[in-house]
């Protein structure tokens, strides 16, 4: 009994159930903010931390299976915990711990849904994500997947009295379900005629190459809709600003990764050995998504929309990495493939921490100021130092700057791109380096976006008088932020402790893993034969040493006199906060350079205007070019079909009769 | 790691720290000569830095701690970069800390901190400079990465010391692919170091400047550190160029003689490189800001050309 209890899978199940119970407990006193905030959310955070610990312990263990007799008769739920699930459970638990702590201080009265109900939806969302990662049959997977979609839909529409939020939620639900249909079809193809829907049956099914490709593309479409690959990205910039910040953090930091998990599970586990050319599709889509996302992020003026587009960019990087891993794995290059897949997992883990951190930071700003518009913020580093400095860590990390974590995964991915010349595929091997250049362009643009994000919100002068009364986040919220910032720092500084674990995670998926030079604990040598090395700790130590030495030397040799005066500004003297760059101004070079990407409406004032007005609206070409025509088409088809609905009982009886006769004719 | 390695390492850092302002002075002097002006003394940058250290620092009342911290961080990253780049010797203790890609990341860190500091006081020029600097940065990085890609495809590694050792020990066969990428690298170097076709280091004309606009609010020791860091950045970029395209003479063995020869050769190469930069700056005109993407796209295309030459012809 004790042995059974202490198995990692049982522990994970208990913790996920605990989340469910915590959620239900919210219904005891549904309208009490204090009960949900002070008791339930911290408990949920503890569960998250425990889940992360259990998952971290079981990263290297071989798979463990169990069958739960719940659900429909003869359809029990199969569960399985292996390395890949553990890696994502670790991500879920660790990120959820930080977000839940923050949420404990975040939710206030009067924000739409009652706090107890919110607590139920929130924890149901967490638990369903956990079950998605544990599911070992299509039935259990889809059940958890749909619970996840629905619970997050209700969380997005927390402030359901606002029409825009309702329509954002609807868009999210729609795309989630279009994706779910594709996933279901993909499972249907993968059972390969055995009509058994356990993942084991799918693993052993022998698919024709054509059918396998179809299953892969369906899975890519289905999971891509959830992850936000262009052109299925349109729901992200709508749903993320609509949701409360902890929910945005969970959706962006964790839920998008469950889609990645699904894609990896299908591609490398269920389908067996992927064919190399499959990889070209996610590679091309991913790179385009990364560029598209970051360009739109640079042009945004709403801070949460900006982060949503930045998530699209990161998903693009991740999906491109998956594509690269498939190309290399299918071409007999195990080291390069392992490197790419490790980079993918690492980036997923990184993104969970840094994007959650940034979303929570915007949440704190939103609460302190009531503003989401970048054009009305500024100078908050003086009023909210804690939030500002912790957010700075996230911003630097996501900009891919060493020695923080975003850089590590981008570095690994670039290293795997460098295997291009060994790829035995003509033309593709010449295009791959250009793909790397696109990736670097996206990463460098992410730096631009983050300077804009952090600079406009926290630096400069307050753009509105009301900002002078902004207050810093509470202690509980600070702990949540600090947890995530710590995660960013540790993932950045200790890659050599994490990469061997990830290397073991991918080995059951048919990868060779990496043979790391484990000689030193501070030096990362992923490819000993290439003499490539990276030592973030040394980086930090040397830079810190130089900084401290310089400060000490300046103090010792010179003086420390400082006079505080008005900003010089070239002697202009009448500087005011309206003269700083706005968010629009910061986006102007991007709008100019990448003009073809945007559907832009611009109103310029003329010199003779009595009240000059400048307005620029940035539209998504894909929304106008794909979704609006598609919507119109659906509406036209629907109105054509509506002709059938005559509203007279006799007509409907005729329909039934005709159907019956047709069926009989077919049967006989 | 022997004690000698550490001596060589510290020597490398000290050479970079001390020679960087001198190199800047040399470029300024060459430029003045080429433009028929009377040149400032070679040691003028040192005098400027010394003067600034003695002055009282004036800080805007609404500046945050980030503003005061940034010069130190930027200076620190540049010293770190100088420690990594094989300017004199190749096998040094710190060179393992980063390869060429991490070096690009290090420069990006410095750039982000300069830009954030420029936005901190909230002046029109500061934010304008920050925005332009970041724009040049994201345009230059892909081109720079392609340059590194070509060099690392030839030598199957991205570690700078290994690349220059391999290129230096080969017989004097010049790779055509490297010739193309050298052109690309020089263009990136000019753009990243605020030199003439992109930015004019000699002007304070508001509408054209990028780098200077970001430093307008700095004074005294903070400004001194920023200027020193800028000089170090130029020096570092030139040393990367030398390590990739003119690696001959680097000390691959750790012995005093090789080190001395390498130092003397470095001096000679720097004299030539400085004159070259001054020449380019004299014969070219400053571009409008929105022509900068075309300039850097050209650099990118040159690097891609080098890459294709490498992949298709194996040369």
- Band of residue B67 on the pLDDT scale cut at 50, 70, 90: very high
Please report the pLDDT score of residue B140 as a whole number: 92
Model pTM greater than 0.90? yes
Please report the pLDDT score of residue B204 as a whole number: 66
Please report the pLDDT score of residue A319 as a whole number: 95
Give the chain A residue nearest B148 (alpha carbons).
A418
Please report the pLDDT score of residue A427 as a whole number: 85
Q: Which residue has the tokens 């170097």?
A: B189
d(CA A44, CA A93): 10
d(CA A594, CA A587): 11
Task: Name the residue among A454, A547, A589 with its Cβ closest to that of B73.
Answer: A547
- Tell me if chain A has a CB within 8 Å of the CB of B142: yes
State the nearest Cα–Cα gap between A96 and chain B, in angstroms: 29
Taking the CA of residue B274 as centre, how many other CA atoms within 13 Å lie in the half-sphere pointing to its CB?
Answer: 24
Contact assignment for B158 to A448 by CB distance below 8 Å: no
d(CA A364, CA A476): 11
Here the tokens at position A453 are 């994000």
Contact assignment for B102 to A378 by CB distance below 8 Å: no
Task: Name the residue among A420, A544, A577 with its Cβ closest to that of B122.
Answer: A577
Give the chain A residue nearest B143 (alpha carbons).
A437
Please count the residues of chain B: 315
- Tell me if chain A has a CB within 8 Å of the CB of B215: no
Query: Which residues in chain A touch residue B141, judged by CB atoms under 8 angstroms apart?
Result: 440-441, 443-444
Q: Cis link prior to A576 (omega < 30° from 0)? A: no
pLDDT digits (tens, 9 = 90+) for A623-665: 888 999 999 999 999 999 988 888 889 999 999 999 999 999 9
Please report the pLDDT score of residue B195 as a whole number: 85
> From residue B10, how far is each of A186, B93, B105, B168 by CA, in Å?
60, 10, 23, 23
* Three-state SS letters, A567-595: CCHHHCCCCCHHHCCCHHHHHHHHHHHCH
Is the model's pLDDT at B1 over the cut of 70? no
> Which one, of B275, B277, B266, lies nearest residue B243 by Cα?
B266
Averaged pLDDT score across all residues of chain A: 89
pLDDT digits (tens, 9 = 90+) for B170-227: 765 678 888 899 999 999 999 998 888 888 877 766 666 788 888 888 888 899 999 9
Query: Which residues in chain B touch residue A579, judged by CB atoms under 8 angstroms apart?
Result: 123-124
A7: which DSSP letter? S
Task: Name the residue among B66, B121, B134 with its Cβ closest to that of A448.
Answer: B134
Averaged pLDDT score across all residues of chain B: 87
Contact assignment for A557 to B53 by CB distance below 8 Å: yes
- Tell me if chain A has a CB within 8 Å of the CB of B110: no
Query: Which residues in chain A touch residue B300, judged by CB atoms under 8 angstroms apart?
Result: 437
| Beta-ladder partners of B60 | A565
Please report the pLDDT score of residue A527 as a whole number: 79
Question: A62 and A507 in contact (C-beta within 8 Å)?
Answer: no
Question: B30 and B278 in contact (C-beta within 8 Å)?
Answer: yes
Enumerate residue ranges in chain A where pLDDT < 70. Answer: 1-5, 109-111, 517-519
């Amino acid at each position: 009994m004790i042995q059974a209890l202490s198995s990692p899978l049982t522990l994970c199940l208990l913790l996920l159930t605990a989340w469910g119970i915590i959620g239900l407990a919210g219904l005891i006193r549904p309208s009490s903010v204090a009960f949900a905030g002070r008791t339930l959310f911290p408990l949920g955070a503890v569960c998250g931390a425990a889940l992360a610990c259990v998952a971290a312990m079981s990263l290297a263990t071989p798979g463990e299976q169990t069958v739960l007799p719940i659900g429909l008769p003869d359809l029990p739920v199969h569960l399985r915990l292996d390395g890949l699930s553990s890696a994502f459970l670790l991500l879920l638990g660790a990120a959820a711990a930080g977000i839940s702590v923050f949420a404990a201080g975040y939710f206030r009265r009067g924000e739409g849904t009652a706090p107890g109900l919110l607590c139920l939806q929130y924890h149901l969302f967490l638990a369903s994500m956990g079950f998605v990662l544990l599911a070992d049959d299509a039935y259990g997977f889809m059940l958890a997947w749909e619970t996840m979609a629905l619970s997050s839909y209700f969380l997005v529409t927390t402030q359901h009295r606002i029409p825009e939020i309702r329509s954002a939620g609807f868009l999210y639900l729609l795309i989630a379900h279009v994706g779910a249909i594709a996933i279901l079809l993909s499972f249907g193809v993968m059972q390969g005629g055995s009509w058994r829907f356990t993942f084991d049956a799918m693993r052993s099914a022998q698919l024709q190459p054509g059918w396998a490709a179809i299953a892969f593309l369906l899975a890519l479409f289905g999971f891509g809709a959830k992850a936000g690959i262009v052109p299925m990205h349109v729901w992200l910039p709508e749903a993320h600003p609509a949701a409360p910040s902890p929910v945005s953090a969970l959706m962006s930091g964790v839920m998008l990764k469950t889609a990645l998990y699904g894609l990896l599970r299908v591609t490398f586990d269920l389908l067996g050995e992927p064919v190399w050319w499959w990889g070209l599709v996610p590679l091309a889509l991913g790179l385009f998504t990364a560029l598209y996302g970051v360009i739109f992020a640079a042009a945004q003026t709403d801070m949460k929309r900006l982060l949503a587009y930045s998530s699209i960019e990161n998903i693009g990087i991740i999906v491109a990495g998956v594509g690269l891993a498939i190309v290399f794995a299918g071409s007999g290059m195990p080291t390069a493939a392992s490197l790419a897949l490790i980079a993918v997992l690492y980036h997923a883990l990184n993104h969970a921490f840094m994007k959650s951190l940034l979303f929570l930071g915007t949440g704190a700003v939103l609460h302190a100021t009531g503003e989401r518009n970048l054009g009305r913020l500024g100078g908050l580093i003086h009023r909210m130092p804690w939030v500002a400095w912790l957010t700075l860590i996230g911003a630097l990390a996501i900009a891919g700057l060493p020695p923080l974590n975003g850089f590590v995964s981008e570095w690994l991915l670039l290293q795997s791109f460098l295997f291009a010349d060994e790829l035995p595929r003509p033309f593709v091997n010449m295009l791959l380096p250009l793909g790397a250049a696109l990736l670097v362009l996206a990463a460098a643009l992410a730096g631009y976006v983050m300077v804009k994000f952090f600079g406009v919100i926290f630096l400069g002068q307050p753009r509105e008088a009301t900002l002078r009364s902004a207050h810093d986040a509470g202690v509980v919220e600070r702990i949540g932020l600090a947890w995530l910032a710590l995660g960013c720092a540790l993932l950045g500084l200790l890659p050599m402790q994490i990469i061997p674990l990830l290397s073991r995670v991918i080995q059951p998926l048919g990868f060779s893993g990496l043979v790391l030079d484990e000689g030193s604990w501070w030096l990362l040598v992923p490819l000993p034969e290439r003499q490539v090395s990276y030592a973030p700790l040394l980086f930090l130590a040397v830079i810190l040493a130089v900084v401290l030495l310089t400060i000490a030397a300046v103090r010792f040799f010179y003086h420390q006199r400082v006079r505080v005066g008005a900003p010089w500004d070239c002697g202009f003297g009448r500087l005011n906060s309206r003269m700083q760059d706005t968010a629009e101004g910061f986006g102007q070079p991007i709008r100019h350079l990448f003009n073809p990407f945007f559907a832009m409406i611009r109103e310029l004032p003329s010199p003779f205007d009595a009240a000059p007005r400048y307005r620029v609206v940035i539209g998504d070409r894909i929304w106008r070019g794909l979704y609006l025509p598609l919507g119109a088409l659906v509406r036209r088809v629907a109105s054509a079909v509506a002709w059938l609905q005559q509203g007279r009982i006799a007509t409907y009886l005729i329909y039934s009769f005709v159907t019956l006769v047709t069926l009989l004719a077919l049967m006989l | 790691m022997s004690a000698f390695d550490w001596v060589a390492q510290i020597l490398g850092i000290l050479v970079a720290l001390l020679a960087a302002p001198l190199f800047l002075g040399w470029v300024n002097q060459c430029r003045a000569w080429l433009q028929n002006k009377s040149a400032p003394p070679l040691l003028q940058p040192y005098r400027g830095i010394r003067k600034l250290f003695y002055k009282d620092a004036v800080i805007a009342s609404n500046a945050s701690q980030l503003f005061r911290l940034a010069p130190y961080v930027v200076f620190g990253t540049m010293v770190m970069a100088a420690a990594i780049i094989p300017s004199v010797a190749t096998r040094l203790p710190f060179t393992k800390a980063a390869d060429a890609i991490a070096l690009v990341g290090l420069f990006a860190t410095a750039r982000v901190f300069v830009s954030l500091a420029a936005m901190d006081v909230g002046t029109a020029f500061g934010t304008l400079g920050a925005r332009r600097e970041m724009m040049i940065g994201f345009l230059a990085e892909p081109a720079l990465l392609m340059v590194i890609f070509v060099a690392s495809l030839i030598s199957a590694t991205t570690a700078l010391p290994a690349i220059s050792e391999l290129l230096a020990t080969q017989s004097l066969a010049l790779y055509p692919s490297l010739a193309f990428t050298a052109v690309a690298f020089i263009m990136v170097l000019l753009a990243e170091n605020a030199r003439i076709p992109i930015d004019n280091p000699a002007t304070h004309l508001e509408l054209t400047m990028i780098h200077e606009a970001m430093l307008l609010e700095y004074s005294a020791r903070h400004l001194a550190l920023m200027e020193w860091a800028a000089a170090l950045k130029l020096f570092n970029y030139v040393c990367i160029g030398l390590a990739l395209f003119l690696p001959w003479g680097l000390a691959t063995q750790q012995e005093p003689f090789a080190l001395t020869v390498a130092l003397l050769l470095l001096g000679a190469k720097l004299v030539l490189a400085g004159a070259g930069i001054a020449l380019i700056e004299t014969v070219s005109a400053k571009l409008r800001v929105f022509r900068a993407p075309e300039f850097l796209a050209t650099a990118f295309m040159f690097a891609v050309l080098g890459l294709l030459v490498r992949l298709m012809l194996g040369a």
